[in-house]
Chain A
Amino acid sequence: DAGVIQSPRHEVTEMGQEVTLRCKPISGHNSLFWYRQTMMRGLELLIYFNNNVPIDDSGMPEDRFSAKMPNASFSTLKIQPSEPRDSAVYFCASSEWGDRGEKLFFGSGTQLSVL
């Protein structure tokens, strides 16, 4: 398996533009997570899905952020409009929910820079 695939690897945009980050989880995994990493705050959970249904979005910073999982093999994280403080590395991860040995598999991340 190719692992968790994120795109793009790098995104540079101007303030006010819409940004869409994409994630393809490992086939067969039924849980998907979006995390954000900044120097100031470290890693934070933004939202997670189980069986394509959002379970907890309490980490989403504000209404400018939205996430969808239309099917088991694809998820998006959208920021509209983007702001410089959204600059961070965004990671997607997947796992098999319900397995007590549940292990997380991370994508390579998307480095977002909002100018």
Chain B
Amino acid sequence: KNEVEQSPQNLTAQEGEFITINCSYSVGISALHWLQQHPGGGIVSLFMLSSGKKKHGRLIATINIQEKHSSLHITASHPRDSAVYICAVSKGGGSQGNLIFGKGTKLSVKP
């Protein structure tokens, strides 16, 4: 079993829909990252969080440390949100970039 599990693997939505991507992990962590990988391959860090909730524009990330679960929400989705969203965890004891990655959720938003 992978230490970081994401669901769903693939997600298709209509423009304007509210989207949720889930991430569960089975190890103790110091932080959780949400990354976005565009069709061209580039990777962008969206959030790093260790508790509570963070918001940036239409994106909201939450984490529940007790339940070892995080969610990434996209409000008012747009075709430009189409990308692969990757959850990754830092097991700590060093740099936050020492990451274990989920397999990613491929999101496609149709106009």
A residues bordering B, Cβ < 8 Å? 31, 33, 35, 42-45, 48, 50, 55-56, 89, 91, 93, 95, 97, 101-106, 108-109, 111
Chain B positions within 8 Å of A50 at CB level: 94-95
B residues bordering A, Cβ < 8 Å? 33, 35, 41-45, 48, 86, 88, 94-104
Chain A positions within 8 Å of B103 at CB level: 42
Q: Which residue of B lies closest to A102 (CB)?
A: B96
Chain B positions within 8 Å of A101 at CB level: 48
B50 CB to nearest chain A CB (Å): 8
CB–CB A93/B88 < 8 A: no
The interface residues of chain A, by DSSP majority, are classed as: strand
**23 pairs, CB–CB < 8 Å, chain A vs chain B:** A31-B97, A33-B95, A33-B98, A43-B86, A45-B98, A48-B94, A48-B95, A48-B98, A50-B94, A55-B94, A91-B43, A93-B43, A95-B97, A102-B48, A102-B95, A102-B97, A104-B35, A104-B45, A105-B45, A106-B43, A106-B45, A108-B42, A109-B41
The 5 closest A-B pairs by CB, nearest first: A43-B101, A106-B43, A102-B96, A33-B97, A104-B45
Q: A42-B103, A103-B48 are in contact. Are A89 and B41 (CB under 8 A)?
A: yes
Q: Which residue of A lies closest to B86 (CB)?
A: A43
Chain B positions within 8 Å of A104 at CB level: 33, 35, 45, 48, 96-97
